[in-house]
Amino acid sequence: MMTEPVVEPRGIDAGEQSPPVVPPTAHPLPHPHPDATPGAALILATLGVVYGDIGTSPLYALRESLLHAHEHGMAETAVIGIVSMLFWTVVLIVTLKYVVLILRADNNGEGGTLSLVAKAQGALHRRTWWLYLIGIVGVSLFFGDAMITPAMSVLAAVEGMDLVFPGFARWVVPVTLLIVIALFWVQRSGTEAVARLFGPIMLVWFVTMAVLGAMHLFDDARILQALNPLRAAGFIAENGFGALPVMGSVFLAVTGAEALYADMGHFGRKPVRISWMALVFPALTLSYMGQGAMVLSNPETASNPFFLLAPPWFMLPLVLLATAATVIASQSVISGAFSVSQQAVQLGLLPRLEIQHTSDRQLGQVYLPRVNTILMVGVCALVLAFGSSARLASAYGIAVTGDMVITSLLAIIVFRYAWNWRWVTVLGIMLPVLAIEIVFFYANILKTLDGGYIPLMFAAVVITFMVTWVKGTQKLQQKLSTESVKLDFLVGKLADSPPVVVPGTAVFLTADPDIAPPALMHNLKHNRVLHERNYVVKVDVANTPRVPDDQRLRLEVLDPRFSRVWLRFGYMEQPNVPRALANARTMGHKFDIMSTSYFLNRRSLRVGKGRLLPLWAARLYAGMYRSASEPTNFYRLPSNRVVELGQQINI
């Protein structure tokens, strides 16, 4: 059962779901197109949502790297090699891999791991379970990062207040929880509203960061040698395995890159690229180079190189600005989690979820209330369990590096088979990037026992849920397909041997108009009657904010008593089925509300004998099935004209 790329809910029958499918990628996006020239407001908005995480890395990336270098007795000039690693890691992973290449691999304007899965599936022209499994693992790791990043960022921000207000430490956890709850509460306003609030703050942050770095750039001109990639390679060659702890900290400079790709659907490709090239990347480069030059000239500043860039009179404003910026850093993974969850629903990896579109200009700006609640509870639990950013830091990195490695593997398939690049080109570009990411992943795996098990455990839970949902849906569809009847066949049989015909109109909502709806079959089996007029209706959600009335309805007459109808609504419209069906009067079909009944099928899953799944998986699948969002009210059906026919199925 193939669906359009954006359909909420997936099936119209209550609880009906499809097996995993690859959404088509050739549909046009609504205005603005991702490659259209963006306005300044949209570019500014990306700063507040997309680049918060990457943009706050200068606060701690070089500081933590220098700390590990000092612990291993490395020379003071090692700062050149470390800054060189920071710079070239950002160039290779963020600029080359994500901004230049991966942003091109969108799926109908959407980014994220599942977009690559969809494109890879389409390129291979076959369904492969190993590809779905890779995608599931990548998404699970991303969700782990989506919980850890807000907890880490907000804790670090609030802890910084102790520099301004001594004795503030005992208030860190309570204030952090209040900020976290407020941050997730504001998500319901939509990405656009959040971006309007956060964008200007992050603009001030990046400009401030660039100016402070530039002020110290020539404290020691030797730092310019860091622009030579051989200094990074030389540092690794000279220190061998001793460089791994330093590399684990260097990786902090690119946390947020995966969220950058997942957030693409909220703004489009071009604004993300322009803001990176024009402001974010230059500001990060100046900050790291300025910090490095200052540490070379004055090694005592290595204890906190970012804040010590500022003159004493500017310290308080900088701490307050950094506090705001690190709180905003959480937004990138939260918005990315919404996008990834939406794609997981579309691919059939998760049950139907309530998806609210929050913009009439950009298709990818979505809000998922249930995902928002789960993330908020998870973040609060991490804050209470760890209590400080230092303790939580050990859990930071494994999820992000793992997700990046998976993205690179999927990108290799897309570049070779979807874009038809030669193997020499693909491997020449991706092998160096993949090698760096694997080393980073190994460096972070060393922190598993110190807290890194948190994202791994969470990822394992998400993987279990997704695999159970995919396998359960596949088994259920196989069972139902053996019992289904083609609509055309049924119409012919009823014409030859009609049952009792009663006056009125019956509307049967279905996800597949080629199959006789279960509600129709139950009505014939148990009530032994057929209405004078019967309409089998499928509702599609288009990729445009609104659909003109003259394109709303398509009707196919099967025989005098049966018709097949397709209704289309824009993604910003609330589907109103009765009103849309009223347009059929121009085709000679009248729908009198007092003589029209709407039939829905409601399935109830029971864990009994002859199970399709092991006992624990059957119970889990049944629980997820029941949790799927209710479609009845979504279509504005008159409650006193709706007939729900139940169907019990043993799984």
b/e per residue, 187-220, with b = 16+ CB within 10 A? beebbbebbeebbebbbebbebbbebbbbbbebb
Return the ∠ at Cα 447 (arms to 441 and 452), rounded to 5°. 85
3-state secondary structure 408-457: HHHHHHHHHHHCCCCHHHHHHHHHHHHHHHHHHHHHHHCCHHHCCHHHHH
Contacts of 209 (CB under 8 A, 6+ apart): 55, 58, 283, 284, 286, 287
DSSP β-bridge partners for residue 106: none
Reply yes or no on whether the pLDDT at 390 is more than 60.
yes
Confidence (pLDDT) at 9: 34
- Per-residue burial over 618-646, b if 16 or more Cβ lie within 10 Å, else e, is bbbbbebbeebbebbebbebeeeebeebe
What confidence score (pLDDT) does residue 159 get?
A: 82
Q: Are 343 and 115 in contact (CB under 8 A)?
A: yes
207, two tokens: 């400009």
- Condensed to tens digits (0 to 9), the pLDDT of residues 126-171 reads 767 788 888 888 888 888 888 888 888 788 778 877 777 788 888 9
Specify whether the CB–CB gap between 319 and 310 falls below 8 A: no
Lowest mean pLDDT among 170-174, 292-296, 571-575: 571-575
- 3-state class (DSSP) for residue 601: strand
Whether the upstream peptide bond of residue 548 has omega within 30° of 0, thus cis, is: no
What pLDDT is attached to residue 18? 39
Distances, alpha carbon 113 to alpha carbons 118, 262, 365, 405, 410, in Å? 9, 7, 17, 11, 8
Position 497: which residue type?
S
Instruction: Give the CA dihedral 52, 53, 56, 60, nearest 10 degrees.
Output: 170
Euclidean distance between CA atoms 39 and 267, whole angstroms: 11
- For residue 108, what pLDDT is reported? 66
| pTM summary value | 0.75
Reported as a single tens digit per residue, the pLDDT across 574-618 is 688 998 998 888 888 888 878 899 998 877 888 876 678 888 898
Q: Are 108 and 27 in contact (CB under 8 A)?
A: yes
Cβ contact 545:358 at 8 Å: no
Phi, psi of 500 (to 5 degrees): -65, 130
* Mean per-residue pLDDT, 110-120: 79
> Considering only 76-85, 148-157, 475-484, 535-544, which range has the smallest mean pLDDT?
475-484
> How much is the average pLDDT of 308-318?
89
Q: Is 424 exposed, middle or buried (0-12, 13-18, 19+ CB in 10 A)?
A: exposed
Instruction: Give CA–CA dist 60/525, Å, rounded.
Output: 69
pLDDT confidence of 642, banded at 50, 70, 90? confident
State yes or no: pLDDT of 43 exceeds 50.
Answer: yes
Q: If we measure between CA atoms, which residue out of 577, 555, 444, 574 comes closest to residue 509?
A: 577
pLDDT confidence of residue 15: 38
Rounded Cα distance, 72 and 74, in Å: 6
pLDDT at position 7 = 33
Residue 75: predicted pLDDT = 74
Supply the pLDDT for residue 505.
Answer: 93
Question: In angstroms, rounded to a whole number, what is the distance separating the alpha carbons of residues 486 and 510?
Answer: 13
pLDDT on residue 25: 32
The token pair that represents 461 in the structure block: 């839970």
Residue 391, pLDDT above cutoff 90: no
pLDDT at 610: 65
Q: State the Cα–Cα distance between residues 204 and 501, nearest whole angstrom.
A: 72
pLDDT band per the 50, 70, 90 thresholds, residue 17: very low
515 close to 564: Cβ distance less than 8 angstroms: no
In angstroms, rounded to a whole number, what is the distance separating the alpha carbons of residues 60 and 563? 65
Q: What is the mean pLDDT of residues 376-386?
A: 92
| Mean pLDDT computed over 91-112 | 85
The DSSP line for 208-254 is: HHHHHHHHTTTSSGGGGGGGSHHHHHHHHHHHGGGHHHHHHHHGGGG
Residue that has been written with the tokens 């624990």 in this structure: 616
Write down the pLDDT at residue 128.
77
Specify whether the CB–CB gap between 553 and 566 falls below 8 A: yes
Which of 30-34, 157-161, 523-527 is the most confident on average?
523-527
407 HSE (CA, 13 A, CB side): 31
User: Average per-residue pLDDT in the chain?
Assistant: 83
pLDDT band at residue 422, thresholds of 50, 70 and 90?
A: very high
Contacts of 461 (CB under 8 A, 6+ apart): none
Residue 56 phi/psi, 5° resolution?
-100, 0
Distance CA 141, CA 258 (A): 11
Q: Which of 2-16, 22-36, 202-216, 502-516 is modeled with the greatest confidence?
A: 202-216
Mean pLDDT of 366-382: 90
H or E element that contains 356: strand 356-357
Domains and CATH numbers, the chain: 43-471 (1.20.1740.10), 483-650 (no CATH)
- The answer on pLDDT for 519 being more than 60 is yes
Alpha carbons 184 and 180: distance in angstroms, whole number: 6
The rounded distance, in Å, linking the Cα atoms of 540 and 12 is: 10
Predicted confidence (pLDDT) at residue 5 exceeds the cutoff of 80? no
Which of the two residues, 136 and 482, has the higher pLDDT score? 136
Helix (H) or strand (E) holding 502: strand 500-509
Residues 494-509, mean pLDDT to the nearest whole number: 91
- Rounded average pLDDT over 408-412: 92
